[in-house]
Amino acid sequence: MSIEFSKKLTAHQTAIPGVVLYDLPVHGDNRGWFKENWQREKMGALGLPDFRPVQNNISFNEKAGTTRGIHAEPWDKFISVATGRIFGAWVDLREGPSFGAVFTAELDPSQAIFIPRGVGNAFQTLEDNTAYTYLVNDHWSADAQGQYTFLNLADETAAIAWPIPLEQAELSDKDKAHPRLADVVPMPGKKILVVGADGQLGKALRKLYDGDASVEFAGRSEFDLASEDSFAARNWKNYSTVINAAAYTAVDAAETPEGRAAAWAVNVTAVARLARTAVEHDLTLVHVSSDYVFDGTRSVHPESEPVAPLGVYGQTKAAGDAVVSVVPRHYIVRTSWVIGEGNNFVRTMASLAERGIEPSVVDDQVGRLTFTADIAAAIRHLLESGAEYGVYNLSNDGEPQSWADIAADVYELSGKPRAAVTGVSTEEYFKGKDVSPRPLNSGLDLSKIKATGFPVPSAAERLNEYLGS
């Protein structure tokens, strides 16, 4: 066997999305050779996913012509040759536009290849005493076999040019019986799970992803965030992402003994369970935060501003953010003044306008509305664009306004005079009432999310549409 020594570590993209062929540096002398077969830091710098291998398998093949496959397994694999030489063949058996794509290559110990979940793997040995080795990121189990997808080695559509004709090769009876491509059921991709899917944001996400079978929705009846049994009963290997649309948002009730306990249970304890699950199963966790994590002393809040919540609700949201931040793959979407389907400030003002009531509305709290349709769209954008993980502010765009300004806009759009709304200070409005303190400035710096290419609609435009609908 002749091995090319001292190659530069190099990545080569292939015709199958996610399948990457690597040249490996092999160092040899009169004693033999040595190579770094898998090196997380160096290969990560070349774009190899940090796929977190948990099992190392070796297939030893005594004779040239031994042929195995084509097996698509429900985990990622990093494959190399320990000794000998193989002809490898890979076929995309995942749902999607690349289904049926084929890539072949000869591999010796100076090459390795990364094969994502759902791509069929096969090889034929070209030398006696060949050892084929692979790292996988899930443990084999009898249950996992039911998730395999197979393709016949002789499939005419794939038309793999085996160096040793299959009739002369060593095959197992099982491999001979695998289906042709036309009869293969593609392996479905991992799903997105939306929890808390019956709230304002959950409803907006349902509308956005309507008809998309890759997104699964769970309200409290389907998934109780307070129950350890809900977490234990779910097969997390089937998911790539969890969107947490659940939250305790009763700002004033959170200041009571019962409300305080409930706020911490939903906004922190349940979030900690989600974060632990995301870490254990290498999931992306999307979490929604609030302007209430700030004390409102700055006119505009960047993502980097240290949190300083004033009340219990803000404290629980800040604590939840801190928990989520330890998840390697996380998006924290920080919003303000959320408006969606259900009871909210805009609907209340529209109802008052319709009934001819002239309200007093706080005029010293300043911020921007955030419509749930845009929160949902921003979440999908972050997930699909591959934006850097971390915290992103999101409200609708435009000049920050007071609640009184927004109420006046609602009245005007409802055909009523703006002057029907009277401004009042926060102190005066809540005088004698047991309520949570509010940040006076809730304006969020939107430059970071805009830099990802997400077009942030103006609050005025969305308010007009919302009232029109």
Answer yes or no: do 124 and 155 share one domain.
Answer: yes
H/E/C letters for each residue in 271-336?
Answer: HHHHHHHHHHHCCEEEEEEEHHHCCCCCCEECCCCCCCCCCHHHHHHHHHHHHHCCCCCEEEEEEC
Q: Which residues of 381-406 are buried (b: 16+ CB within 10 A; e: fewer)?
A: bbbeeebebebbbbbbbbebbbbbbb
Answer yes or no: do 267 and 378 share one domain.
Answer: yes
Q: For residue 200, what are the contacts with CB-CB under 8 A and spacing of at least 6?
A: 338, 340, 341, 342, 344, 372
Gap between the Cα atoms of 256 and 434, Å rounded: 9
Q: What is the pLDDT of residue 313?
A: 97
Gap between the Cα atoms of 93 and 185, Å rounded: 8
Q: For residue 224, is it within any domain?
A: yes
| 446: nearest Cα among 404, 406, 396, 400 | 396
Gap between the Cα atoms of 391 and 444, Å rounded: 12
Answer yes or no: do 103 and 228 share one domain.
Answer: no
| 20: nearest Cα among 81, 103, 100, 83 | 103
| 122: nearest Cα among 187, 188, 176, 45 | 176
Q: What is the pLDDT of residue 4?
A: 75
Mark which of 154, 183, 212 sits at the end of a domain: 183
Length of the chain: 469
Angle at 254 between CA 257 and CA 309, to 5 degrees: 120
Mark which of 167, 183, 199 sits at the end of a domain: 183
Question: Is position 71 annotated as part of the catalytic site?
Answer: yes
pLDDT tens series, the chain, 469 aa = 567 777 899 999 999 999 999 999 998 888 888 999 999 999 999 999 888 899 999 999 999 999 999 999 999 999 999 999 999 999 999 999 999 999 999 999 999 999 999 999 999 999 999 999 999 998 877 666 567 899 999 999 999 999 999 999 999 999 999 999 999 999 999 999 999 999 999 999 999 999 999 999 999 999 999 899 999 999 898 899 999 999 999 999 999 999 999 999 999 999 999 999 999 999 999 999 999 999 999 989 999 999 999 999 999 999 999 999 999 999 999 999 999 998 899 999 999 999 999 999 999 999 999 999 999 999 999 999 999 999 999 999 999 999 999 999 999 999 999 999 999 999 999 988 889 999 999 999 999 999 999 999 999 999 999 998 7
Q: For residue 184, what are the contacts with CB-CB under 8 A and spacing of at least 6?
A: 93, 149, 150, 151
Q: What is the pLDDT of residue 144?
A: 61
> What six digits make up the tokens of 243?
């969107």
Answer yes or no: do 236 and 293 share one domain.
Answer: yes
Q: DSSP state, 75? A: S
Answer yes or no: do 291 and 175 share one domain.
Answer: no
Contact status, residue 413 vs residue 405, Cβ threshold 8 Å:
no
Predicted TM-score (pTM) of this structure: 0.87
Count of the separate structural domains present in the chain: 2
Q: For residue 5, is it within any domain?
A: no
Domain that holds residue 248: 191-468
Q: What is the pLDDT of residue 155?
A: 96
Q: For residue 2, is it within any domain?
A: no
Contact status, residue 396 vs residue 443, Cβ threshold 8 Å:
no
Residue 67 sits in a domain of what CATH number? 2.60.120.10
Answer yes or no: do 316 and 450 share one domain.
Answer: yes
| Catalytic hit among 134, 239, 429, 466 | 134
Torsion of CA 397, 403, 408, 412, to 10 degrees: 40
Answer yes or no: do 59 and 115 share one domain.
Answer: yes
Residue 384 sits in a domain of what CATH number? 3.40.50.720
Answer yes or no: do 76 and 24 share one domain.
Answer: yes
Gap between the Cα atoms of 142 and 298, Å rounded: 57
Answer yes or no: do 199 and 110 share one domain.
Answer: no
Q: For residue 1, is it within any domain?
A: no
Question: Is position 22 annotated as part of the catalytic site?
Answer: no
Q: What is the pLDDT of residue 387?
A: 95
Answer yes or no: do 135 and 196 share one domain.
Answer: no
Answer yes or no: do 158 and 197 share one domain.
Answer: no
Q: What is the pLDDT of residue 2?
A: 65
Q: For residue 295, is it within any domain?
A: yes
Q: For residue 290, is it within any domain?
A: yes
| 51: nearest Cα among 224, 281, 271 | 281
Q: Residue 1, Cα to own-chain centre: how many angstroms?
A: 44
Q: Residue 65, Cα to own-chain centre: how many angstroms?
A: 42
Answer yes or no: do 229 and 124 share one domain.
Answer: no
End-to-end CA distance of the chain, in Å?
73
Lookup result for tokens 């304002």: 200
Mark which of 183, 211, 229 sits at the end of a domain: 183
Q: For residue 3, is it within any domain?
A: no
